[in-house]
Chains A and B, each alone.
Chain A
């Protein structure tokens, strides 16, 4: 009888837990439903318009034609996506390293911040398409230039955010560290860097979106010398050869890569910050 009662309770708890999970995810599903339905409506309308009006493929290929074109070139596109991802991740890693190091210098030396920071802002305002040819002259065509372009475009949000984080120390916590005789290194490791972590993650989220932009621009302009072309090179090739369906497929895949990288950084960020009160804006 007792066993039965316990089993009944366990099963009830299990059901409650399932219901609880379902209830928890319900708002997220509800939030995803409208954009998904809108996408379906757009794709179906697009396909129907193509059938009825018969727009030339070069102007606007239908969703099915894009799918067909992408399927035919699936191995090349998959390889290009991998190459673009690799370049984007390398540039992103370099941006994280450079951004954090420069922020460390700026947080320690006000003179350095005042002397160099304005030029970083200047660098950010110059269009990347205008800098790209210079980068190609300096680093040559191919992967080096592509990674350099990605780094240039994505380093700035990391530098600014981490500098803000490293210099926004709670004065009470700083007093506490001083009181217990913490040296500068201890303050950096135990207070400044943990305080800057949420800022770093915010900066990395912005940068993650920019890395794919940098990768496509870099490959578009410098990818022709690369032995293994990325998605940006396919965008260039498809536009010159009037292969609209490949152009659309490349755009779609690069967008997906951007979303994937953004999601990955958000996930890492949420995991890293799960322990403290900081909550990232949605």
Chain B
């Protein structure tokens, strides 16, 4: 009994216009992100506990290192140099462990629900990336307040804030999606915990987050110039501080992050569905 393909299959696939298809895509991306916002609203304690670490970095590390003269280029107070770095770092630390929750969702069965839905895999991955960005933005609020309280001249003009949001959304989405790829490879929470620790430190230290690239040995400078975190920090230095400047140019920074995010999203969209196999 060979199935009669012509009688059964290709029954009728309704054609959608590009506009409808884009609107549908956006609905599905936002559905995933909205679920995350609702979960955080039900239990905001996670956000509170995550805010502790960056505050400690600013107050303790920043408090000590600001006494070292000449660390930041051009006579900027070190704390002003550090604040955007800590912002990028705390967004990275939250995002890089995102894979754990992806594995958790797979173990529970919630992932199956997403994968049997008609939502395109890219929409699911972008939705998850946005979910991580929302956590990243909540970090930003805390760090802006803390930095301002410590006397950093943070910029609050609307355009700067908008670009800050964009940089954090891109950076957080990028690293959380990278984390999702790692989760697809290692598959278990135990293995992920080990790998997560191993990944965080090189990404953090091989960047301009807490010291300028010029201080690095040449081999590390080359690695640093391939590190997306470097461009996130560089962009944040331009928009977070009043009179702040980027070394590479804001457009360059945004383009670097956008390209890197695009690459990991395409890879993750291919690997993510295989998690349930």
A binds B: no
Which residue numbers of B lie inside 8 Å of A, CB to CB? none
